[in-house]
Structure 1
Amino acid sequence: MTIDDPTRPETAEPPTSTDAAAPAPTTAGTGTGTGTWSALRPLVLRLHFYAGVLIAPFLLIAAVSGLLYALSFQAEKVLYAHELEVPVGDRVLPLSRQVQAATEANPDGTVTAVWPSSEPGATTRVLMADPDVAEGASLAVFVDPYTAGIRGQLPSYGSSGALPLRTWLDELHRDLHLGDLGRNYSELAASWLWVVALGGLLLWLGRRRKNRREIFVPERGPKSRRRTLSWHGSVGLWAVTGLVLLSATGLTWSRYAGENIDLVRSRLGGATPTVSATLEGAAAGGSTGHEGHGSGHGGHQPPAADGPDVGIDQVVEAARAAGVDGRISVALPSEGKGYVVKETDTQFPVHLDSVAVNPADGTVMDELRFADYPLLAQLTRFGIDAHMGVFLGLFNQLALAALALSLVLLIVWGYRMWWLRRPGRPVARGAWRKIPPTMLLPLLAATALVAWFVPLLGLSLLVFLVVDLAAGLVTRTRSRDRDQNRDLT
Structure 2
Amino acid sequence: MHAIASSPQPDHWRFYRAVWRWHFYAGLFVLPFIAWLALTGAVYLYQKPIDRWVHHDLKVVAASQAAPSLASAQVAAVQATSGGEAFRYTTPERADGSVEIAVLGKQGQREVYYVDPASARVLGHLPEKGTFSGVVRQLHSLDLLGGWASALIEIAAGWAILLVLTGVYLWWPRGRNGGVTSVRGSPGQRLFWRDLHAVTGVWVGVVLLFLALTGMPWSVVWGTQVNAWANGHDYGYPAGVRVAVPMSDQRLADTTTPGWTMEHAQLPASSVPPGQPPSADSHAGHEGHGGALGDLSPRTGAIGIDAALQRFNALGMAAGYAVALPRGPMGVYTASVYPERLARQRVVHLDQYSGRVLLDMGYADYGVLGRGLEWGINVHLGQQYGTFNRVFLLIACVAILLLCASGAVMWWKRRPVAGLGVPPLPRQRRTVAIVFALLCVGGVLFPLVGLSLLAVGIVDFALSGGWRRY
Identify whether the pair has TM-score above 0.5, normalized to the shorter chain: yes
Q: Larger deviation: 146-155 or 224-233?
A: 224-233
Matched residues in 2 for 1:474 and 1:366: separation? 60
Q: Which amino acid aligns with 2:72?
A: S
Residue 82 of structure 1 deviates from its aligned partner by 0.7
Residue 183 of structure 1 deviates from its aligned partner by: 3.8
CA distance in 2, matches of 1:278, 1:129: 32
Quick one: which of 460, 464, 468 aligns to 1:468?
Answer: 460
Q: Within the alignment, does 1:384 sit opposite 2:387 as a pair? A: no
8 Å CA contact 2:115–2:121 kept in 1: the answer is yes
Aligned to 1:139: 111
Q: Contact conserved, 1:42 with 1:431, CA < 8 A, in 2? A: no
Moved more, 421-430 or 365-374: 421-430
> The residue matched to 1:8 in structure 2 has which SS?
helix
1:101 match: 77
Q: 344, 348, 362: which is aligned to 2:355?
A: 362
Structure 1 unaligned regions, length at least 5: 11-18, 25-37, 158-162, 289-300, 480-489
Counterparts of 2:182 and 2:108, CA distance in 1: 51
Task: Report the CA distance shift for 1:204/1:72 in structure 2 as closer, same or farther (over 3 A).
Answer: same
- Structure 2 CA distance, aligned partners of 1:328 and 1:283? 23
| 1:428 corresponds to | 425
Asked whether the 8 Å contact 1:277–1:337 carries over to 2, the reply is: no
Match of 2:146 among 173, 179, 182: 179
> Is contact 1:344–1:352 with CA below 8 Å preserved after alignment?
yes
8 A contact 2:236–2:368 mirrored in 1: no
Indicate if the aligned counterparts of 2:26 and 2:160 stay in contact, CA closer than 8 A. Answer: no
Q: What's the CA shift string for 1:278-327, capped at 9, x where partnerless?
A: 998x8855578xxxxxxxxxxxx975446622222322222233332433
Q: Is the 8 A contact 1:112 1:331 kept in 2?
A: yes
Match of 1:123 in 2: 98
Question: 1:67: Cα distance to partner?
Answer: 4.2
For 2:122, the aligned partner's letter is: I
Q: Give the structure 1 partner of residue 133 of structure 2.
A: 166
- Map Cα deviations across residues 192-225 of structure 1 (whole Å, 9 max, x no partner): 00110121122212343349xx644545856422
Larger-Rg structure? 1
Kindly state the Cα deviation for residue 374 of structure 1 after the two structures are TM-superposed: 1.0
Following superposition, the deviation at residue 367 of structure 1 comes to 1.7
Gap change, CA 1:245 and 1:274, over 3 Å in 2: farther
User: Residues 385 and 454 from structure 1, CA distance in 2 versus in 1: closer, same or farther, beyond 3 angstroms?
Assistant: same
TM-score by length of 1: 0.74
Aligned to 2:61: 86
Partner of residue 7, structure 1: 3
- Kept in 1: contact 2:143–2:149 (CA 8 A): yes
Equivalent in 168, 178, 181 of residue 201 of structure 1: 168
Summarize the Cα distance change of 1:152–1:405 in structure 2 as closer, same or farther, 3 Å threshold: same
CA distance change for structure 1 residues 88 and 274 in 2, over 3 Å: closer, same or farther? farther
Cα displacement (A) at 1:63: 3.7
With the length of structure 2 as denominator, give the TM-score of the two structures: 0.77
Q: Does 1:315 align with 2:308?
A: yes
Kept in 1: contact 2:111–2:125 (CA 8 A): yes
- State which of 334, 338, 344 in structure 2 corresponds to 1:340: 334
Name which of 78, 92, 114 aligns with 2:89: 114
Q: Which moved more, 1:303-312 or 1:96-105?
A: 303-312
Partner residue of 1:298?
A: none
Looking at structure 1, the residues matched to 247 and 400 of structure 2 have their Cα atoms a distance apart, in angstroms, of 51
Partner SS, residue 464 of structure 2: helix
Aligned 8 A contact 1:20 1:426 in 2:
no
| Alignment correspondent of 2:346 | 353
Query: Which of 239, 252, 265 is the equivalent residue of 2:230?
Result: 265
Q: RMSD across aligned C-alpha pairs, in angstroms?
A: 3.7
The 5-angstrom pairing of residues 389-404 of structure 1 reads 389-392=382-385, 395-404=388-397
Report percent identity of matched pairs: 24
Cα distance in structure 1, aligned partners of 2:67 and 2:404: 52
Aligned residue identity for 1:100: A
When structure 1 is superposed on structure 2, of 62-71 and 201-210 the one drifting more is 62-71
Tell me if structure 1 keeps the 8 A contact 2:242–2:359.
yes
User: Aligned partner of 1:147: which letter?
Assistant: S
Which of 22, 30, 34 aligns to 1:59? It is 34
Residue in 2 that maps onto 1:296: none
Matched length: 423
